[in-house]
Amino acid sequence: MTAVRALAALILSSVLVGPALAQDRIVPSSSAQLRLSYGPIVQRVQPAVVNVYAAKVVQNRNPLLEDPMFRRFFGVPGGPQEQMQRSLGSGVMVDASGLVVTNNHVIEGADQVKVSLADKREFEAEIVLKDSRTDLAVLRLKDTKEKFPTLDFANSDDAQVGDVVLAIGNPFGVGQTVTHGIISALARTQVGITDYQFFIQTDAAINPGNSGGALVDMSGRLVGVNTAIFSRSGGSQGIGFAIPANMVRVVVASAKSGGKAVKRPWLGARLQAVTPEIAETLGLKRPTGALVANVAAGSPAARAGLKLSDLIVSIDGQTIDDPNAFDYRFATRPLGGTAQVDVLRGGKPVRLSIALETAPDTGRDEIVIKSRSPFQGATVANISPALADELKLDSSVEGVAITNIADDGFAANVGFRKGDVIVEVNGQKIGRTSDLEKVARESSRLWRITVLRGGQQISVVLGG
């Protein structure tokens, strides 16, 4: 009988105690506890988030319309037909005068841009600045004199994994929408969207149309600009990426100062990632830091004393895990001062003071090749320190760099890419854009071209 009572007591205790140990459930003691809401934050933030509509005219080439027999039989005009191509995105008002930041890919190539406010009013907008390296663009509303609601910038370096955030934008064009989630990760570098790989990852639902919209913290401040999603289906998979507010701040500041391009500090050195094999050689416990692979003569890095094989481990006290982290940290430093960079040299710590100044950009002489040749439709420029930094080229590279490729040109069909360096054409060395323009005007049945791409020299022969 005693054993039976003991068993009954054990069963009773497991029923009463077990669930409480697994999870304490608390019944709300007041109606106020049932009304917890993000509403006050949304009401304050929403008026500063806008919808961005961009349109451009494209030439729609139908091969059937190029056939004279087809045109004659069906009685349709030949030649390319104009078609209006539209894109949709979001934006954030960052200045009361009507300055809006959005993604560059939302307005890229647009002939017309319109901005729709939360109150349904619509304004024409001009493009003030475009920065493909960060995928950011700044717009200004036209013909307005009123003061608009804006968002303040948060210090995105203070963000932590697990922080609650709200994403506001116009997904699928259904209208302004708010979703919530947390910051899932920081300093994501393997995304491949922009030159500066240092994204905030969030699980707040982000979909097509959210690009350029706001990611805000619980104080209603802008912590990032939503720019991309990882998706196998085209819809939200709970993995979205935002450009940190500290980078957005730099681009907006350049636009406010009247610049047509973003001014950033120039290091003048090429960095590479530390592999496990390199880490073992250097005596590191794990692969970390940014290894110096090249230093340009006369650059801020060279003047500060940075040397080949130095391992950069921090900048202004912030740890550097890889070259992407350094690029972001260095690019968000204000011009005019210095950055304190800690390196390991032969296993010993060394601190260097690097001047924060822009790269020289004289003699670029950018032109578009228009003559019939494999280069037709390519925009090319002489290689300056600024262009080498922009295209991530070695400072010692000689030749002419491709800075843009028209979609409908021969250069695009041949397979040239932005960042390619034309070194030689038909036995003639190409040192300036004028050299390439001259050789491109020459008629030739064969084109022997030497190109430098990603540090590798490629030689090709093309028919004329």
Catalytic residue among 135, 310, 322, 389: 135
Catalytic residue among 156, 211, 299, 395: 211
How far apart are alpha carbons 118 and 263 in whole angstroms? 32
Running DSSP on this structure, what letter comes out for residue 435?
Answer: H
Tokens representing 286? Answer: 């794990």
Establish whether 157 is a catalytic residue: no
Contact 455, 444 (CB under 8 A): no
How far apart are alpha carbons 106 and 90 in whole angstroms? 8
Catalytic residue among 105, 156, 327, 395: 105
Distances (CA, A) of 32 to 36, 42, 164, 180, 224: 7, 19, 21, 21, 31
Burial class of residue 258, CB neighbours in 10 A (0-12, 13-18, 19+): exposed
Q: Look at the chain and count its residues.
A: 464
Read off the amino acid at residue 309. S
How far apart are alpha carbons 214 and 178 in whole angstroms? 10
Establish whether 13 is a catalytic residue: no
C-alpha triplet 215, 324, 209: angle, nearest 5°: 30
Establish whether 361 is a catalytic residue: no
Tell me if residue 276 falls in helix, strand or coil: helix
Tokens representing 424? Answer: 């030689």
How far apart are alpha carbons 228 and 202 in whole angstroms? 11
Please identify every residue annotated as catalytic.
Answer: 105, 135, 211
